[in-house]
Amino acid sequence: MWDTIFQAIDDQYEQMVETRRHLHRHPEVSFKEEKTAQFIIGTYKRLGLPYQCKVGGNGVIATLEGGKPGKTVALRADFDALPIQEENEVSYKSKNDGAMHACGHDGHTAALLGLAEALLPFKEDLPGTIVFLHQHAEEYAPGGAKPILETGALEHVDAVFGTHIWVNTPVGVIQASKGPFMAGADRFEIKIQGKGGHGAQPHQTKDAIVIASQLVTSLQQVVSRRVDPLKTAVLSVGTFEAGHTFNIIADSAELTGTVRTFDHEVQELIIDEMEKIIKGTCESNSADYEFNYHKGYPPVVNHETEAELILQRSHEADPSLQTEEIEPVMAGEDFAYYLLDKPGAFYFTGGQIPDHYYPHHHPKFDFDEKALNYAAKTLLQAYRSYQEQV
Residues 71 and 207 in one domain: no
Final residue belonging to a domain, choices 277, 297, 317:
297
In the chain, how many domains are there?
Answer: 2
CATH number at residue 68: 3.40.630.10
d(CA 196, CA 207): 7
Residues 94 and 175 in one domain: yes
d(CA 155, CA 74): 11
Regarding beta strands 197-198 and 288-297, do their DSSP bridges make them parallel or antiparallel, or are they unpaired?
unpaired
Q: Which of 273, 297, 321 is at the close of a domain? A: 297
Catalytic residue among 106, 138, 251, 333: 138
Rounded distance, CA 98 to CA 112, Å?
Answer: 26
Nearest partner of 350 among 383, 311, 322, judged by Cα? 322
Per-residue pLDDT, 374: 98
Per-residue model confidence (pLDDT) at position 248: 98
Out of 28, 33, 78, 80, the active site residue is 80
* 189 and 225 together in one domain: yes
- Do 127 and 249 share a domain, yes or no? no
Residue spans of beta strands (DSSP E) within 167-287: 173-176, 180-182, 184-193, 197-198, 233-242, 248-249, 252-261
Strands 197-198 and 248-249: antiparallel
Q: What is the CATH number of the domain that holds 282?
A: 3.30.70.360
Residues 119 and 254 in one domain: no
Q: Which domain holds residue 269?
A: 184-297
| Residue type, position 214, single letter | Q
Question: 69 and 211: one domain?
Answer: no
According to the model, what pLDDT value does residue 97 have? 97
Residue 290 catalytic? Answer: no
pTM for the complete prediction?
Answer: 0.94
Do both 259 and 134 map to the same domain?
no
Confidence (pLDDT) at 390: 63
pLDDT value of position 335: 98
Supply the pLDDT for residue 48: 98
**Residues within the annotated binding site?**
103, 105, 139, 164, 361
- Both 58 and 193 in a single domain? no
The pLDDT value recorded for residue 308 is 98
Residues 50 and 166 in one domain: yes
Phi, psi for residue 99 in degrees, rounded to 5: -140, 140
Q: Half-sphere exposure of residue 127, counting CA atoms within 13 Å on the CB side?
A: 14
Angle at 53 between CA 49 and CA 58, to 5 degrees: 135
220 lies in the same domain as 308: no
Please report, in range form, the residues annotated as the binding site for Mn(2+): 103, 105, 139, 164, 361
- Residue 99: the pLDDT is 98
Mark whether 176 and 188 lie in a shared domain: no
- What is the distance between the alpha carbons of residues 131 and 158, in angstroms, rounded to a whole number? 10
Dihedral pair phi/psi, residue 155, rounded to 5°: -60, -35
Task: Kindly give the parts of the chain with pLDDT less than 70.
Answer: 390
* Domain stop point among 297, 312, 342: 297
Within 8 A by CB and 6+ apart from 169, the residues are 175, 348, 349, 350, 351, 352
Known catalytic residue at 80 = yes
Round to whole Å and give the CA distance between 40 and 52: 11
- The reported pLDDT for the residue numbered 349 is 98
Residues 64, 165, single domain; the answer is yes
